[in-house]
């Protein structure tokens, strides 16, 4: 008999350890370059957002959003769920102990071992066991799966990695929120600047129109000139209304990000032209250490690895210990008579899957595939992060060069307006030259404003791509 049991156990263990081959991983790990093409030794990633932005009004808006933004609040709840999940797997490592109070009635068939034995047994002196036997129990019962193969511990480690990943997800949401709010803020200021430029142009256009009307009355020009200047003025008035509508929409969009109903947005209009902290890319490895999305992807990869280990351990035998201690009797009046009513049990069992392991195999294959997917995602995020830094830094430098050109162009176009108007008044150029000069000046003014806006937004994106913003 002992020999048979030993053979059966060996067969069980062997069967449990088979058919758990991992899916082939054909993904080659990609190492980060040691340096960027134009190396810089410092990084802005560790600079706090308040220092980097250097605008109290903007940072106050961001702080408000961190309290009321709905996406962020939902993310905080995901943190709580991840914490609860971790506590669950921690609890599974410990014995499960329950307080139990049970009561019932049992009846054994007469032609059974129990029934025949009870019919000839005294439960008390001169009192036979009744046919319908009450059974009352109160006490403690415990169940413990001994984690000698590490399945439960790996589940706990996976849950902990997912918790850390969720925390990094919070940081990533904060980083995106900082960037989105700052972007809308600078767009709003740029629209303000455009509106100011348009209003100044409207004032000049009205003055030019009055002059042309006087010229027409004096017989020095014709009705066509008046109509041309008037038409140009109407275009500017329509553009003014359009910009005002854009300002309203941008303000409301910013209020949504902050998590509040529409209201006036205070802003520092000069911050559009203020330089942020000096921009350095640092080393490529900075994005691994600082970017929350990459750190989250790495933690998810670690969690996936632990899930694979846990799923693999499910093929192996598990050892469970069941025990209980308490008081048991057929009548409540005898329930706490000791030692007669004392009852306890202790049972250990080794259980291993032998037949029909398809569910375990499927769970293992899912965990294995998730690990490969997590590895691919992690590597893709590293590549994307590196490319983002390179692109944003190059764009920032190009915009700086474009700003120099646009500034000179704007100065020349504004000077051309004054010259064209003076020449028109002396009848040395036609009125169309004045209109063209005004259009060019307006376009170059708006272009200069947009370059300043793009430069600020690009610096934000570079800050974000290196891993700044959540600090």
- Is the per-residue pLDDT at 409 higher than 70? yes
Question: Which residues, 6+ apart, have CB-to-CB distance to 463 below 8 Å?
Answer: 44, 45, 47, 52, 179, 276, 279, 469
Once rounded to an integer, what is the mean pLDDT over residues 333-359? 81
Pairing of strands 122-124, 127-128: antiparallel
**Cα 261-262-267 angle, rounded to 5 deg:** 120
- Is the per-residue pLDDT at 408 higher than 50? yes
- Is the per-residue pLDDT at 194 higher than 90? yes
Task: Report the candidate in 399, 338, 381 with the shortest Cα–Cα distance to residue 165.
Answer: 381
Question: What are 452's two structure tokens?
Answer: 């300043």
Pairing of strands 342-351, 127-128: unpaired
Q: What is the mean pLDDT of the chain?
A: 83
Once rounded to an integer, what is the mean pLDDT over residues 347-370? 83
pLDDT tier, 40 (very low <50, low <70, confident <90, very high otherwise): low
* pLDDT at residue 19 in the model: 47
For 456-470, write each residue's pLDDT tens digit: 999 899 888 888 777
Once rounded to an integer, what is the mean pLDDT over residues 110-138? 79
CA dist 344 and 138 (Å) reads 11
Q: Which residues pair with 345 in a beta bridge?
A: 324
Task: Report the candidate in 329, 187, 340, 195 with the shortest Cα–Cα distance to residue 251.
Answer: 187
* Residue scoring higher pLDDT (374 or 130): 374
CA dist 142 and 307 (Å) reads 27
SS3 448: helix
How many of the other CB atoms lie within 10 Å of CB of 286? 21
- Is the per-residue pLDDT at 25 higher than 70? no
CA dist 465 and 253 (Å) reads 23
* Residue scoring higher pLDDT (130 or 14): 130
For 140-158, write each residue's pLDDT tens digit: 888 888 777 788 888 888 8
> What is the separation, in whole angstroms, between the first and last Cα of the chain?
68
* pLDDT at residue 44 in the model: 63
* pLDDT at residue 395 in the model: 92
Please identify, in words, the CATH class of the domain defined by 27-93+149-317+359-466: mainly alpha
- Is the per-residue pLDDT at 310 higher than 50? yes
Exposure pattern of 7-44 as b/e (b: 16+ CB <10 Å)?
eeeeebeebbeeebeeeeeeeeeeeeeeeeeeeeeebb
Q: What share of the chain is helix, strand, coil (3-state, %, to 5)?
A: 65, 10, 25
- Is the per-residue pLDDT at 13 higher than 70? no
Do the Cβ atoms of 306 and 158 come closer than 8 Å? yes
* pLDDT at residue 11 in the model: 46
* pLDDT at residue 279 in the model: 59
CA dist 141 and 393 (Å) reads 65
pLDDT tier, 130 (very low <50, low <70, confident <90, very high otherwise): confident
Do the Cβ atoms of 47 and 468 come closer than 8 Å? yes
* pLDDT at residue 39 in the model: 53
* pLDDT at residue 26 in the model: 55
Residues of the chain with CATH 1.20.1600.10: 27-93+149-317+359-466
- Among 79-88, 146-155, 289-298, the range scoring the smallest mean pLDDT is 146-155
For 205-252, write each residue's pLDDT tens digit: 898 888 889 888 888 788 888 898 899 999 999 999 999 999 999 999
Q: Please give the CATH number for the structural domain made up of 97-146+318-351.
A: 2.20.200.10
- Is the per-residue pLDDT at 312 higher than 70? yes
The continuous run of DSSP H or E covering 105 comes out as strand 96-107
- Is the per-residue pLDDT at 438 higher than 80? yes
Question: Which residues, 6+ apart, have CB-to-CB distance to 62 below 8 Å?
Answer: 49, 53, 177, 178, 181, 182
* pLDDT at residue 356 in the model: 65
SS3 343: strand
- Is the per-residue pLDDT at 63 higher than 80? yes
* pLDDT at residue 85 in the model: 83
Task: Report the candidate in 185, 182, 173 with the shortest Cα–Cα distance to residue 470.
Answer: 173
Once rounded to an integer, what is the mean pLDDT over residues 190-209? 93
- Among 199-208, 283-292, 423-432, the range scoring the smallest mean pLDDT is 283-292
- Among 139-148, 227-236, 306-315, 376-385, the range scoring the smallest mean pLDDT is 139-148
């Amino acid at each position: 008999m002992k020999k048979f049991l030993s053979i059966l156990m060996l067969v069980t263990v062997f069967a449990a350890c088979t058919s758990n081959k991992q899916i082939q991983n054909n993904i080659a790990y990609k190492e980060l370059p040691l340096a960027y093409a134009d190396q810089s030794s410092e990084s802005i990633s560790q600079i706090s957002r308040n220092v980097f932005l250097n605008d109290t009004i903007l940072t106050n808006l961001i702080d408000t959003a961190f309290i009321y933004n709905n996406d962020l609040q939902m993310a905080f709840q995901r943190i709580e769920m991840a914490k609860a999940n971790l506590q669950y797997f921690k609890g599974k490592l410990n014995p499960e102990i329950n307080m139990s109070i049970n009561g019932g009635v049992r009846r054994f068939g007469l032609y059974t071992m129990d029934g025949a034995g009870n019919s000839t047994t005294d439960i008390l002196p001169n009192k036979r066991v009744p046919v319908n036997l009450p059974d009352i129990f109160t006490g403690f019962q415990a169940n413990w799966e001994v984690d000698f193969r590490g399945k439960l511990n790996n589940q706990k480690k996976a849950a902990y990695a997912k918790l850390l990943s969720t925390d990094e997800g919070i940081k990533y949401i904060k980083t995106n929120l900082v960037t989105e709010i700052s972007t809308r803020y600078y767009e709003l200021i740029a629209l303000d600047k455009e509106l100011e430029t348009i209003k100044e142009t409207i004032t000049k256009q009205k003055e030019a129109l009055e002059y042309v009307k006087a010229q027409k009355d004096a017989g020095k020009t014709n009705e066509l000139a008046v109509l041309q200047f008037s038409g140009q003025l109407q275009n500017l008035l329509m553009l003014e209304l359009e910009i005002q509508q854009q300002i309203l929409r941008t303000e409301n969009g910013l209020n949504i990000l902050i998590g509040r109903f529409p209201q006036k947005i205070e802003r520092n209009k000069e911050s559009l032209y203020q330089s942020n902290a000096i921009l350095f890319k640092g080393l490529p490895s900075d994005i691994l250490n600082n970017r929350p999305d990459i750190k989250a992807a790495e933690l998810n990869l670690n969690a996936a690895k632990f899930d694979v280990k846990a799923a693999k351990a499910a093929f192996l035998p598990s050892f469970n210990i069941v025990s209980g201690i308490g008081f048991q009797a057929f009548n409540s009046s005898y329930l706490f008579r000791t030692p007669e009513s004392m009852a306890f049990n202790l049972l250990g069992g080794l259980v291993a899957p032998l037949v029909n392991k398809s569910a375990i195999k499927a769970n293992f294959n899912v965990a294995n595939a998730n690990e490969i997917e997590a590895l691919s995602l992690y590597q893709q995020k590293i590549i994307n992060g590196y490319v983002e830094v390179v692109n944003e830094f190059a764009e920032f430098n190009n915009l700086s060069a474009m700003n120099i050109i646009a500034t000179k162009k704007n100065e020349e176009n504004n000077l051309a307006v004054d010259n064209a108007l003076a020449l028109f008044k002396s009848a040395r150029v036609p009125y169309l030259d004045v209109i063209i000069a005004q259009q060019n000046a307006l376009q170059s003014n708006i272009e200069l404003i947009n370059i300043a806006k793009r430069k600020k937004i690009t610096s934000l994106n570079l800050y974000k791509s290196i891993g700044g913003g959540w600090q």
